[in-house]
Chain A
Amino acid sequence: MTDQEIIQLYNAGKHEQAFNEIVKSYSERLYWHVRGFVCSHEDTDDLLQEIFVKVWGALPTFRGDALLFTWIYRIATNEALNFLHKQKVRAALSLESLSGLLEKKVDDDPYFNGPQAERTLGKAIQKLPEKQRIVFIMRYYENLKYEDIAKILNKSVGTLKASYHFAYEKIKAELEKISE
């Protein structure tokens, strides 16, 4: 079912059915979206529950000014970032950095099934500053268009392209350093 059909279904008063269609359409996409940020299957699973609770709660306020896709991804991205900010405080209490914590999660992930190069790349991505990391993940892994990322993050396309460029250069330098 397309987003437009889902909205029409909701407006026709079939709220639960519309929500179920959103779940069918977006659950897997949002899983990988969030997984890229939090690096843990369990955390992603918990966050997805919270995200869809928020989506259900905010559906009555959705006026259709933005695309349903952009709106849902914005909720998911904000929830993932809030989660990471909490993780940052917890990491500080243990005298650790957030990037160190995330790198450890990449190392210890039991569901990792790629070559070592992918693990190295994953850890290099976690070393990036937050803004660059978000843009890189959304562009590189999810192949989202800059225009869509701009609407989700409420940033200009130019800023996003610059962030992606800097992220790419940093990751390249990190990988070269490791391969030496």
Chain B
Amino acid sequence: MTENSITNKMPYSVPEGYFDTLNARLSKIPQESVKPVREVESGSPLSEYEGAQGKAMAISFWQKFRPYVALAASFAAAIVVGSFIINLSLKDTVPENSYEELLLSDLIPVTEPYLIYGDSSTSASEELTDNDIEKYLIASGTSVELLGYTAYESDY
């Protein structure tokens, strides 16, 4: 850093008299706090700092994980609310009549709905003609010999 205007000193000030009041406040800690952590016994695996930190860690476990729990809860809430809203909006658009439902799903041609549902006035009483049978046999790839055989059989 070679710019003249940049020095190594941190460019912040503090409120007037701050450090005096700070020292006074910090000096009250021994009176206000609980007894110091008991001396670590010899041979204990705890390090100098970890001895006190272990106690602090137990106290602040919930404080440590609270932000993550809050994050998970907010995601769960978003999913639940979103699902509810989607279900609510779909409910309004889905028709009550199942026939209309299928029409919307475009599974059946609108012009010939009786292909799926049928029409009592026509196809129920309709019988297959020989022409229909022939067309089917041809479309199914039945061999000519078999076609001829079955024709012979039907004659007799």
Contact = CB atoms under 8 A, between A and B. Distances in A.
Given A19-B29, A54-B53, A56-B29, A61 B8 contact: no
Interface stretch (B20-28, B76-84, B121-129): B20-28
Contacts of A161: none
Contact of A143 (B8, B29, B40, B74): B8
A90 B70 CA distance: 10
A49 B25 CA distance: 8
Contacts of B23: 23-24, 27
Contacts of B67: 86, 89-90, 93
Given A56-B36, A58-B48, A23 B55 contact: no
Interface in A45-86: 45, 48-49, 52-54, 56-63, 65-66, 71, 74-75, 78, 86
Interface size range on A against B: 35 or more
Chain A binding surface, main DSSP class: helix
Given A66-B48, A117-B6, A118-B5, A59 B36 contact: yes
B71 interface: yes
B140 interface: no
B156 interface: no
Contact of A111 (B12, B46, B49): B12
A140 B22 contact: no
Which 10 pairs from chain A and chain B are nearest by CB?
A: A114-B11, A58-B52, A61-B51, A118-B11, A89-B67, A117-B5, A57-B52, A115-B5, A23-B26, A61-B48
Interface of B: 1, 3, 5-15, 19, 22-23, 25-27, 29-30, 33, 36-40, 46-49, 51-53, 55-56, 67-68, 70-71, 74
Given A115-B5, A117-B3, 18 more contacts: A15-B36, A19-B30, A23-B26, A23-B27, A35-B10, A35-B12, A41-B15, A60-B40, A61-B39, A61-B46, A61-B48, A63-B48, A86-B67, A90-B67, A113-B12, A115-B11, A119-B11, A171-B1
